[in-house]
Amino acid sequence: MQSSHIHFAQIRLILTVVLVVVSFFGQITMIEADDGSREKIDGDLILMQGKWNLVDFVYYRSNIAAPAPKGQRQGIRIVSGKRYRLKLRIGAQQVDDEYSFQLYSQQKPKAFDVTLSDGETVIKGIYEVSADTLRRAYSQPGTPRPTQFQSGDQTYQVWKRIAEPPPGAKQQTVNAGIKKDT
């Protein structure tokens, strides 16, 4: 009788562990979207999250490059979910606004649509993203999506991730130099 009780307890423990593991991994693949619904998020969207610094900005018109001089381009892009805040200065032009976007990571090249703050105007573009670099090329509203980087009529940007120390990192560094009396 005791043997069957132990066997039942082991099965119950195994089923509980399996249920917890399945529940845990089921939650990892689902992230809450901006509208409160649940949807599957691909890796590119996860890679885009965070703070980015503009390192290159070039206008291409009829395949002729017109780069913005280094001292005349500054930008910060902060991505959260499917929205981002853009603070950008190119020459005398300044932008400080929020946008929403949609990724199409299965297309070749990978593509995106950005909806401007008016909620109606859409800019179509292509992108490449890695852990620390984001390249984007996009067309003017109402024109076809670019098919390759740095050609035709497009705006081309390169962004580098801004590494921020994890919360409490500064405190740990300060505390590391303090010797405690024991």
Please give the pLDDT value at position 17. Answer: 54
Please give the pLDDT value at position 152. Answer: 84
Does residue 115 sit in the same domain as residue 126? yes
Q: What is the DSSP string of 6-22?
A: HHHHHHHHHHHHHHHHH
Beta bridge partners of 89: 74, 94
d(CA 5, CA 15): 15
Does residue 91 sit in the same domain as residue 10? no
pLDDT mean over 107-114: 96
Listed in sequence order, the DSSP H helices in 29-111 are 43-48
- Residue in the structure block whose two tokens are 């009829």: 62
Please give the tally of structural domains in the chain. Answer: 2
- Residue in the structure block whose two tokens are 């910060």: 76
d(CA 78, CA 161): 10
Does residue 100 sit in the same domain as residue 125? yes
Burial class (CB in 10 A: 0-12, 13-18, 19+), 41: middle
Does residue 60 sit in the same domain as residue 11? no
Give residue 166's pLDDT band: very low, low, confident or very high (50, 70, 90). Answer: low
Mean pLDDT of the chain: 79
Does residue 47 sit in the same domain as residue 115? yes
Please give the pLDDT value at position 168. Answer: 61
CATH of the domain at 150: 2.40.128.20
Q: Is residue 143 part of a domain?
A: yes
Does residue 96 sit in the same domain as residue 146? yes
Does residue 144 sit in the same domain as residue 106? yes
Does residue 32 sit in the same domain as residue 85? no
pLDDT mean over 24-38: 44
Does residue 86 sit in the same domain as residue 108? yes
Residue 3 reports pLDDT greater than 60: no
Does residue 137 sit in the same domain as residue 151? yes
Does residue 26 sit in the same domain as residue 76? no
Domain that holds residue 67: 43-161
Tell me the percentage of the chain whose pLDDT exceeds 90. Answer: 53
* 41 or 125, which is more confident: 125
d(CA 3, CA 37): 48
pTM check: above 0.95 = no
Does residue 56 sit in the same domain as residue 131? yes
